[in-house]
Amino acid sequence: MFDELFDIDPGASEEDLRILVEHYEQLKSKAAAAQVRATALWAAKRAAAEQAAGIPQKRRGKGLASEIALARRDAPVKGNTHLGVAKALVHEMPYTLAALQAGVLSEYRATLIVRESACLSLAHRRQLDAEMCADMARLAGWGDNRVAGEAKRITARLDAAAVVERNNRAANARCVTTRPAPNGMVYVTFLMPLSQGIGMYAALRRAADVTGDGRSRGQVMTDTAYERISGRAVTTPPDLNLNLVLADTTLFGGDDSPGYLQGYGPVPAEVVRRLLSDAITDENAKVTLRRLYRHPDSGQLVAMESRSRIFPKGLAMFIGLRDQTCRTPYCNAPIRHHDHATPDRGGGKTSALNGLGLCEACNYAKEAPGWRVRTSEDNGAHSAEFCTPTHAVYYSIAPPQPGTRIIRRSVVEDQFSIDLALFEAA
C-alpha cells in the first residue's frame, strides 16, 4: 500500500506529473518535520537515561550527534547541525516547525532561519519565529536568499549587540581549506574577516592590472597569490614531499591508473608522471619516495604493527594513506587522529589491523558509552564495524590503492615489481 504512493503512471499527463512533483515536495517537508520531532525526542530520552545513570553533566549527550548523522546516512560533522535544528524547532520555534510541516518551508530554508537566529535569546528567537512564520502565506515565493536575508534583518533589529558578538567570534574561526576540482585542479579557500578578504582580492586585482604578458586576469591573480604565499615562481617545480600513492606500472608508463594524493584524492596518471618528472629533473627540487606495499588481491596497503601504545610516525603515515579520509561511514573529513579500534586498555594492539584514521570529532564520539568498533581483514581488505548505543551497525571498508589487477602475476613478478618501484630517495 505504501509503495503504491510512489508509483508513477507512464501515461500521466504533464499536468498530472507537475502535481505529483509538488505533492512529493510537500511529502519531503512533512517527513523532515517528523524527523525533527523524532530527533528532539531521541535527545530528550538520551538525556533522561544518562541523568538516571548518574553520568556527569559535561559528558551527557556525547556521541549522540554522530549517531543522528549516521542514522541519516550523513557525515558525522553534520550531526550537531541536525540536533541543534531539531531542538530549536521543537522547543523554541513552533511557527517555523509548523511551516515545515505544512510544506511551506523546505528543510534547508527552515535550517537557514534557525542558523540566522542562533545568537538570539530564547525570547527574541520566539519573537522572530512568530514574525516570520506565523503567517505562512507571506512565505510564498521566497527563495533561500530571501528567507536568510529576512531572518538576518529581524535578528539585527532585535539584538544588534548579539550580531556584533557573533561576528567577532566568527573571526576566530578563520582558516584555509582545500578541496578537489576537476581536471587536476584544486580549490584553495580562505575564510577570513570581510575587510581582510576584500583587501587581499583588491591587491591581486591591482597586480593583474599592471601585468600585460598575455595571461588572463584570473591567471595573473592566481599566479601572484601562489608566488607571494609560497615564495616560489610558478615556473619552478615544487618540492614533492607529499604522500602521493601510485602503482609501479603507472610510474613507469605501463598503464594509466590514477594515483592518489593525500588530502586531494585521485590524480590522473599523466599529471602524476609530469609532477614527478618536473621535480626530478630540477636540481633545486626535493623528491621523496617511500616504500608502500600493496596487497595483490584487495589492492590495499599491507599491514605493519608496533609494540608502542602510541602509533609511531611510520605506522600513522601508513594508516593515513590506507584510509585516505576519516573511516567513520559517510564522513569525508581529513584524518586528524590515528587511534585503536579496540582500545589499548582493552587489549587492542598498536597495529595497522587495529588502527583507524579518524577525524577529531569521530574519534571522541566513539569513546562515548555504548559505542563499539571492531576491525577485520579479509584477503587484504581492511573493514571496520561501528556499533552505536542504539545497536545500529555500520560498516566501512578502506578504499583500494591505485593500480590494476587485470592479470594475476606470479609471486616472483610481484616481488620484482615491488623492488623496482617502491624505493626511497632524497
**Tens digit of pLDDT for each residue in 31-85?**
999 999 999 999 999 999 999 999 888 888 999 999 999 999 999 989 999 999 9
* Residue 36 CB-density burial (10 A; 0-12 exposed, 13-18 middle, 19+ buried): buried
The percentage of the chain sitting over the pLDDT mark of 70, rounded to a whole number, equals: 78
Residue 336: all three cell numbers together: 586528524
Res 414 pLDDT > 70: no
154/130 Cα distance (integer angstroms): 11
List Cα–Cα distances, 377 to 11, 312, 384, 393, 402, in angstroms.
Answer: 51, 21, 9, 17, 19
Q: What nine digits make up the cell of 297? A: 588481491
CA-CA distance, 328 to 347, in Å (whole number)? Answer: 22
Least confident of 26-30, 190-194, 406-410: 406-410
Closest CA to 260 of 77, 379, 405, 398: 398
Burial 39-63 (b: 16+ CB within 10 A, else e): bbebbeebeeebeeeebeeeebebb
Q: What is the pLDDT of residue 170?
A: 83
Q: Which residue has the higher pLDDT, 375 or 242?
A: 375
**pLDDT band at 248, cuts 50/70/90?**
low
Strand partners, 383: 376, 397
- All residues at 6 or more sequence positions from 417 whose CB lies less than 8 Å from its CB, including other chains: 248, 249, 409
Q: What is the pLDDT of residue 37?
A: 98
User: Is 139:104 a contact under the CB 8 Å cutoff?
Assistant: yes
- Alpha-carbon radius of gyration of the chain: 27
